[in-house]
Amino acid sequence: KNTGSGKHFLLSTDGCVYLKAFLQTLTESVPVVKKTEESHQLTCTYDGISNDNAAIGWIRQDPGKGLECVAYISAPSGSTIYYSQSVKNRFTISGDNGKQQVYLQMNSLKTEDSAVYYCARQYNDTEVVFVLLGIWPCHTVYGYFDYWGKGTMVTVSSVSKLPTVSLLSAPIGTTQYLMCMIEDFTPNKVTVTWKKNDMEVEGQTPTVGRQPSGLYSASSLLKVTNTDWNNKVKYSCVVQHQGEPTIKTISKTGLYIGVDCTTVDVMFTYRISNM
C-alpha cells in the first residue's frame, strides 16, 4: 500500500495485481437485484478522462473471492474487445464517446454473476499491441487500471425465498441476550424490528452474510435486563422480507429450544463482542 500516492494494490486470485486509485473519476449505475435468466445493463460514466484515454474494463468481485476482469473495450475506437470465459456470449461491452459512457449488457444472468462490479480505466492502453500480440488486456504488463469507480452490487437469485426465523435467549451476567436468527432467504435485503410487549425497542442492526448454498442468513441481537426477563416480559422479533412479515415471540416461560448449546454460545459471544 502506498498512501503517499493515494493508491493501493489489490491482488486477484489469478495472481495479477490491480492498481486502485482513491481518485474517483468513474461512476457505476445503481445496485440491482435480478432473477436468473434475466438481463441488465450496467453503465459506467467517466469524467475528466478524454475519449482517447478511456479504455475501460469491467471488473467484478464476489464477497470473499478475488477480482475477475470480465470485459474490456479499447479507446478511442472500441475496436478491441475482450471477454472472460465466464461471461463470453452472455455479456456485451460497448461505449458511447458522446455521452462519455461504457456499458455492460448482461444477459442470461446466473447466480454466480452476483458480485460488486467496478468499472476502471486502463492506463497506457495500446490497441495495436493488443491486436498484434493477441493478449488479454486485463492481464498484461502493458497497462494497469489506475482510476476506479466505487463499485455497484449486482445480486442474482434463482427465486425469492422467505427466511426461516428462530429466536434464542442466553443469560450472561446480569443481562439476558436475545438473538433473532434469520436463515435461508433470498434476495439479501431484510429488516428486523424488536418489540417489548408490542412496543418497538431498539435492537442491533442485522448483519447479512451469504451461505455456501447461495442463500443468505442474518442475525440481530437485543439486550434485556434480568428484571424484565424474570417478570416474563414478552419480546418479539419481526422480520420483513419481500414485504412479508415473520414474527417470533419469546418470554421466560420455561421454553425449551433444541439447539447445539456450544454453537449457540459461540454465536452469542461473537455477536456480543461486536455490539
Query: Does 38 share its domain with 100?
Result: yes
Query: Does 168 share its domain with 148?
Result: no
Query: Does 124 share its domain with 259?
Result: no
What percent of the chain is modeled with pLDDT above 90? 41
pLDDT band at 2 (very low <50, low <70, confident <90, very high): very low
Query: Which range, of 45-59, 88-102, 131-145, 203-217, averages the lowest pLDDT?
Result: 131-145
**C-alpha grid cell for residue 150?**
466505487
Beta bridge partners of 208: 218
> Does residue 254 fall inside a structural domain?
yes
Query: Does 129 share its domain with 12?
Result: yes
> Does residue 71 fall inside a structural domain?
yes
pLDDT recorded at residue 272 = 47
pLDDT band at 187 (very low <50, low <70, confident <90, very high): confident
Confidence check: pLDDT of 108 > 50: yes
Domain ranges, residue 171: 164-273
Query: Does 77 share its domain with 168?
Result: no
pLDDT recorded at residue 94 = 95
> Does residue 1 fall inside a structural domain?
no
Domain boundary among 123, 157, 191: 157
Query: Does 65 share its domain with 80?
Result: yes
Query: Does 140 share its domain with 219?
Result: no
pLDDT recorded at residue 14 = 53
Domain boundary among 108, 131, 157: 157
Decide which of 35 and 15 is more confident.
35
pLDDT recorded at residue 91 = 98
pLDDT recorded at residue 133 = 44
> Does residue 2 fall inside a structural domain?
no
pLDDT recorded at residue 202 = 93
Query: Does 195 share its domain with 89?
Result: no
Confidence check: pLDDT of 96 > 70: yes
Domain boundary among 122, 138, 157: 157
Confidence check: pLDDT of 173 > 70: yes
Q: How many CB atoms lie within 10 A of CB 120?
A: 27
Amino acid identity for residue 96 in this structure: D
pLDDT band at 268 (very low <50, low <70, confident <90, very high): very low
| Closest C-alpha to 114, from 150, 81, 70, 146 | 70
pLDDT recorded at residue 269 = 43
d(Cα 173, Cα 181) in Å, to the nearest integer? 22
pLDDT recorded at residue 260 = 38
First-last CA distance in the chain: 30
pLDDT recorded at residue 124 = 61
Query: Does 12 share its domain with 132?
Result: yes
For residue range 17-47, list pLDDT tens digits in order. Answer: 554 444 557 999 998 888 888 999 999 999 8
| 182-206: average pLDDT | 91
Query: Does 118 share its domain with 179?
Result: no
> Does residue 107 fall inside a structural domain?
yes
pTM of the model: 0.53
| 179-183: average pLDDT | 95
Confidence check: pLDDT of 1 > 50: no
d(Cα 247, Cα 245) in Å, to the nearest integer? 6
d(Cα 140, Cα 144) in Å, to the nearest integer? 8
Query: Does 111 share its domain with 224?
Result: no
Average pLDDT, the chain: 79
Domain tally, the chain: 2
CATH number at residue 204: 2.60.40.10
Query: Does 260 share its domain with 214?
Result: yes
| 127-148: average pLDDT | 56
> Does residue 41 fall inside a structural domain?
yes
> Does residue 189 fall inside a structural domain?
yes
Rounded to the nearest 10°, the torsion over CA 94, 98, 101, 103 is: -20
